[in-house]
Amino acid sequence: MSGSVSPLAPKSFAEMPPVRGVRMATAAAGIKYKNRTDVLLMVFDEPAAVAGVFTRSRCPSAPVDFCRQNLAGGVARAVVVNSGNANAFTGKKGKAATELTAQSASEAVGCSIGEVFLASTGVIGEPLDATKFAGVLSDMTTEAASDFWFEAAKAIMTTDTYPKVSTRSAKIGGVTVTINGIAKGAGMIAPDMATMLSFVVTDADIAPEALQVLLSEGTGPTFNSVTVDSDTSTSDTLMLFATRAAARDGQKAVTDATDPALDGFRAALNDLLRDLALQVVRDGEGARKMVAVTVEGAESDLAAKRIGLSVANSPLVKTAVAGEDANWGRVVMAVGKSGEMADRDRLAIWFGDVRVAVDGERDPSYSEAAASAVMKEEDIAIRVEIGLGSGKATVYTCDLTKEYVEINGDYRS
């Protein structure tokens, strides 16, 4: 956690209500950081339905392998998260560390190893000493409280400058349900599921299969549409749990994701996922500006997204934004290199409401002063019209500053 909070941080944090059926506790196990919490335990007193999406990295961490294996069971009783060490690229030792952690958690909570889920974040390649938190989990189980969301979010931070929390409520068949989520992420963030760690819990009664469809669909326009630096983490994990406590209020169990009873819940979940994803971008390492890149008129929505990511990931575009330089030529460059169809002579580009280029050349009424004024804003919208079809997408990123280099230049030291 760096010394100063990102200037793009929320001015206030959501008041997080308890979600029935889940309790949390944190501890300081001294894995990497001193004088701060670095282990989070979530306990489900009754079996919760679980869904998850994970990194597409070909070098996933040991906890990602472990979660994928247990996801098939569809049931969760405990989640253990640590920060400071990713337990990635740690070979047999990494697998042994996940097994020891899961064994300790299952004993502490009183469940099977198959009902435990793990996540780790931090340095890659350092063996994780799981004995450090094997001893604290039983105490944490006893202490765990339901109104501990903010502290839970703090315990999973690495280079984050603020904890990321969000809450929504929705109705399923007339019964009100709550959805709470926390996330961590500031660098090594690229849209390849799930671009960081995030844990979302609802008291709704939804079966694991339906939950999985909701989560997989919800990540497309949210966590899969954000990028800080184009690097996909080894540890990306996004999990959704349903404690089913709302059944006590008369909520009828939902087993099919297409059930119209889920319409309000789906909208609320997607809104929460988008909120958390944007909080991650707004905490991009060294970030001073938030950028929304919208591409319209591409051959398809997928083409639009790829063009948008080409713009959003371009170091030249991102450094121009950092320098408040309305250099639309760099946007043209990024569109051209995307690998998707584009027609130079049909391109139009806007910075905010200012059209800077049209029909493949500088806008005849271009005003450097107007374009520069847009670049001085904290939130900047870049819009590109391709002029070939109806494909559309928006991706979110931040600027690339000297601080990003400083943070990542000495991350291990």
Kindly list the catalytic residues.
195
Q: How many C-beta neighbours within 10 Å does residue 365 have?
A: 9
Under a CB-based contact definition with an 8 Å cutoff, are residues 204 and 177 in contact? yes
| Residue whose C-alpha is closest to residue 158's, from 321, 286, 38, 51 | 38
* Both tokens assigned to 121: 């974040």
**What is the distance between the alpha carbons of residues 264 and 142, in angstroms, rounded to a whole number?**
35
**What is the distance between the alpha carbons of residues 267 and 177, in angstroms, rounded to a whole number?**
13
* Both tokens assigned to 370: 């107007």
Q: What is the residue whose two structure tokens read 């349900």?
A: 177
* Both tokens assigned to 311: 């713009």
Question: Is 184 part of any known ligand binding site?
Answer: yes
**What is the distance between the alpha carbons of residues 318 and 310, in angstroms, rounded to a whole number?**
11
**What is the distance between the alpha carbons of residues 221 and 224, in angstroms, rounded to a whole number?**
6
Question: Is 294 part of any known ligand binding site?
Answer: no
**What is the distance between the alpha carbons of residues 125 and 80, in angstroms, rounded to a whole number?**
20
Query: In the 3-class helix/strand/coil scheme, how is 370-410 assigned residue by residue?
Result: HHHHHHCCCEEEEEEECCCCCEEEEEEEECCCHHHHHHHHC
Helix (H, G, I), strand (E, B) or coil at 341: coil
Backbone dihedral region for residue 127 (phi beyond 0: left; psi -120 to 50: alpha; all else: beta): beta
What is the phi/psi pair of residue 165, to 5°? -135, 155
Question: Is 115 part of any known ligand binding site?
Answer: no
**What is the distance between the alpha carbons of residues 381 and 326, in angstroms, rounded to a whole number?**
12
Q: Where are the beta strands (DSSP E) in 173-214?
A: 175-184, 197-202
Question: Is 413 part of any known ligand binding site?
Answer: yes
Question: Is 285 part of any known ligand binding site?
Answer: yes
Sign, CA dihedral 399-405-411-412, equals positive
Residues belonging to the binding site are: 158, 184, 195, 285, 408, 413
Residues belonging to the binding site for substrate are: 158, 184, 195, 285, 408, 413
